Amino acid sequence: MNPKQEKMIEHAINVTFDYGIEILGAIVLLIVGWTIAGWVRRAVRHGLDRMPRMDETLKPFLAKLVWYVIMVFVLVAVLNQFGVQTTSIIAVLGAAGLAIGLALQGTLANVASGVMLLFLRPFNVNEYVDAGGIAGTVIEIGLFNTEIKTNNGLCLIVPNSKIWSSPITNFSSNPTRRFDISVGIGYSDDVDGAQALLMGLMTGDGRVLADPEPLVVVDLLGDSAVILKLRGWTKSGDYWETVWDLNKAITVELQKAGYSIPFPQRDVHIVSGEDK
């Protein structure tokens, strides 16, 4: 073997050794990064499982997101191991991410809103809510949309961004709820007696809570009637049935007791004069 061939073989061995070290280092780095990403993913999932208010849909999403972030850094480090200029790659990825974000801004807004709804929990499944005029019982909260069942049985699929950007009224969040019922009686009727009768109807209904104490007051002196207001508290789940039953009982008992339930009326005075 001549010296030229020996030199070429020696060069090939050196190149193979150098690149072999780099390849081996990249493989080790990839394995270590993959293992660490898996550990962190499981740790995040375990931590989220210990949070009782964290939604089940959000837990795997956040854990997987952390895994992807770590793996991106690992891949950048692997490319850097081979001498690739990662600065330009990061810049390209950033520009591509910006372009994708602008193209999918509506979808990303729904995802971001879905994450906020699942994380902050302004309402839960099976609760009755009103969000920007959309009212109904929450059936499912997803990352993109929320499914709501209306009172007449319709199914609404509402984008999360529309719900999150609107004022949300949760009618089921608090355990109790106040009701106000207005009743009109005639000016010639016994106001004290009517108040006692109406108070008896509320205290006799077991769904009306004793604390806060219910009350009946003279709320308004109307054009045609004295307006009495019944105010009481009930459990949120009993609200509508209690109000409906009280409305019926009020009408029946006032009529049975001889109270008039006046309707709007006007007195017309006719003045006649002699023709000149």
- Token pair for 89: 């790659």
What's the pLDDT at 5?
A: 55
Distance CA 269, CA 248 (A): 36
CA atoms within 13 A on the CB side of 51: 16
For residue 170, which phi and psi values (nearest 5 degrees)?
-105, 110
Can you read off the two tokens belonging to residue 262?
A: 């006046």
pTM above 0.85, yes or no: no
Short-list 122, 144, 118, CA closest to 131: 122
152 φ/ψ angles, rounded to the nearest 5 degrees? -95, 20
Mean pLDDT computed over 81-99: 65
* Residue 175 pLDDT grade (very low, low, confident, very high; cuts 50, 70, 90): very high
Sort residue 44 into left (φ over 0), alpha (ψ -120 to 50) or beta.
Answer: alpha
Sequence-ordered alpha helix ranges (H) in the chain: 3-49, 58-81, 86-103, 105-120, 160-164, 191-203, 239-256
Check: CB of residue 260 under 8 Å from CB of residue 189: yes
**Which pLDDT score is estimated for 11?**
56
Pair of tokens at residue 23: 């390849």
Residue 77 has pLDDT above 80, yes or no: no
Q: With cut-offs at 50, 70 and 90, classify the pLDDT of residue 30.
A: confident
- For 110-168, the pLDDT digits (tens) are 888 888 887 788 888 889 999 888 899 999 888 788 999 998 889 999 998 899 989 99
Q: What domains does the chain contain, in order, with CATH numbers?
A: 8-103 (1.10.287.1260), 122-170 (2.30.30.60), 176-256 (3.30.70.100)
